[in-house]
Amino acid sequence: MSDLTLPGAGEASGSTGKPPAASFAQLPSVDRLLGEPELAALAQAQGQALLKRAINDELAAQREAIRAGRPCAERPALVAAIGQRIAALAAPSLRPVINLTGTVIHTNLGRALLADEAIEAVAAAMRGYAALEYDLASGGRGDRDGLVEDLLRELTGAESATVVNNNAAAVVLALAALAAKKEVLVSRGELIEIGGAFRMPDIMKTAGCRLVEVGTTNRTHARDYEGAITPRTALIVKAHTSNYAVEGFTASVDDAALARIAHAHGLPYMVDLGSGALVDLSRWGLPKEPLPQESLAAGADVVTFSGDKLLGGPQAGIVVGTRAAIAKIRKHPLKRALRLSKMTLAALEATLRIYRADHRLEERLPVLALLTRSMSDIRAAAERVLPPLQRFAGEGFAARIEPCASQIGSGALPVDRLPSFALHVSSRGRRGGRALEQLAGRLRALPVPVLGRIHDDALWLDCRTLLAADEEKLSEQLSAPKC
């Protein structure tokens, strides 16, 4: 109890290394704080258990402050601090952000934005029961793949289709089902690595296949595949190099030639497209991306692609192909482990229905809307945000509008860039780099964090990806009084 003894006359508080009892006594009890009107209202909104945790956490922080020789917080500050703690406890970890990076399909920010129809379909599926694996006609068990298979067959020309939770899973499943314990031929120039150091050789190993590299990094010919086929060969795979490009003295073998080689030796031919556009983007003046229907028409037995990239749907791995190949894939034990939930299937079906209608795609699909956004619209948005941004940044920075190049993102069309306009912020000071980092940190610390990129001694906020729904919120945040 010695730490509860008040210091003697003329003795400085804390000179013994122990805080005075009076300091601890100033802290209110938990019950007293629960009775505070402002906090009682929070208990009604968030629950008393969460409020008690916030109170206990703040009181513990106050005790630590007192032990360090700092004074106890006054009542208004203490109540405000508890309110901030309960707000932080109640806030979701998956926070919305304002994406001004210029990358439309940003892997770290959730990739494709869903269409309104897809969002409504997910909400409907979550609110009640749904016929996920129930055949309404017969009253027996159904197949969840059937919710989207007919749409995928119609859109791609495939004989059959199945879906899993992402394209990497689709590739692993297809390899395991078609070539486990056998050899798979892949060009050296297609030994891709996707995000998170996930490499094609590792995928092969996981699927239980033996990778056989053919050709060289920059040039692979039909004879390289022919010469590599042995009795142990089970599959030929072509991986679309969606996240990089090899230019110059290059050669590769197209789908039709590889399909002929594979089929002449009784082997299936598989194409991993990665991004997976379902329509020719050149319709809107965008660079063309390989389509699954083109690979299938050229003779591919299996084609895999993503649902949440250029397709503009939810995260999913889509597998289309021949009836025989898809049947083998569906029967593999991994298929059940990788199956989609009702929410994802609802979003995917709604997205595919938009494609089947082929009506106002650039308006109904947010990804396509952002990719085709006009330069005049982008600049107008930048002009509206420029004044509050300059005020937020302060006199130490100069903000102006500059042309820039946006990225499609997520490995789609890596060489091609889209013209855009950005808010360009530079530092007027000598230590510009540090100042820009601090400004970027202030933007990330806003209630709805704002994300840009630092490049060429400036902070760039690309307005191509500034959503109409976010523009007002952005201006409000930038104009809010500083605390």
Provide the domain limits for residue 430: 98-106+369-479
Average pLDDT for residues 407-431, to the nearest whole number? 82
Residues 354 and 225 in one domain: yes
Q: Report the number of distinct structural domains present in the chain.
A: 3
Report the pLDDT value the prediction gives residue 154, as an integer from 0 to 100: 98
Q: What is the CATH number of the domain that holds 138?
A: 3.40.640.10
Report the pLDDT value the prediction gives residue 10, as an integer from 0 to 100: 38
User: Is 3 inside a domain boundary?
Assistant: no
Q: What is the CATH number of the domain that holds 472?
A: 3.90.1150.180
Residues 304 and 442 in one domain: no
User: Is 221 inside a domain boundary?
Assistant: yes
Instruction: Say which DSSP state 462 is in.
Output: E
Report the pLDDT value the prediction gives residue 245, as an integer from 0 to 100: 66
Average pLDDT for residues 76-94, to the nearest whole number? 92
Average pLDDT for residues 459-464, to the nearest whole number? 98
Residues 184 and 43 in one domain: no
User: Is 111 inside a domain boundary?
Assistant: no
Inform me whether the pLDDT recorded for 440 exceeds 90. Answer: yes
User: Is 217 inside a domain boundary?
Assistant: yes
Residues 317 and 409 in one domain: no
Exposure string over 428-441, b if 16+ CB within 10 A, otherwise e:
eeeeeeebbeebbe
DSSP codes of every residue in 394-456 = -TTEEEEEEEEEEEEETTEEEEEEEEEEEEEEEESSS-HHHHHHHHHHHHHTSSS-EE-EEET
Residues 149 and 271 in one domain: yes
Residues 292 and 394 in one domain: no
Instruction: Say which DSSP state 304 is in.
Output: E
Inform me whether the pLDDT recorded for 243 exceeds 70. Answer: no
Report the pLDDT value the prediction gives residue 341, as an integer from 0 to 100: 97
80 residue type, one letter: A
Residues 195 and 326 in one domain: yes
Average pLDDT for residues 341-348, to the nearest whole number? 98
User: Is 146 inside a domain boundary?
Assistant: yes
Burial of 32 (0-12, 13-18, 19+ CB in 10 A): exposed
Average pLDDT for residues 10-20, to the nearest whole number? 52
pLDDT tens column, 422-431: 999 999 977 7
Report the pLDDT value the prediction gives residue 278, as an integer from 0 to 100: 96
pLDDT > 90: what percent of the chain? 76
Residues 259 and 209 in one domain: yes
Residues 31 and 148 in one domain: no
pLDDT tens column, 291-325: 999 999 999 999 999 999 999 999 999 999 999 99
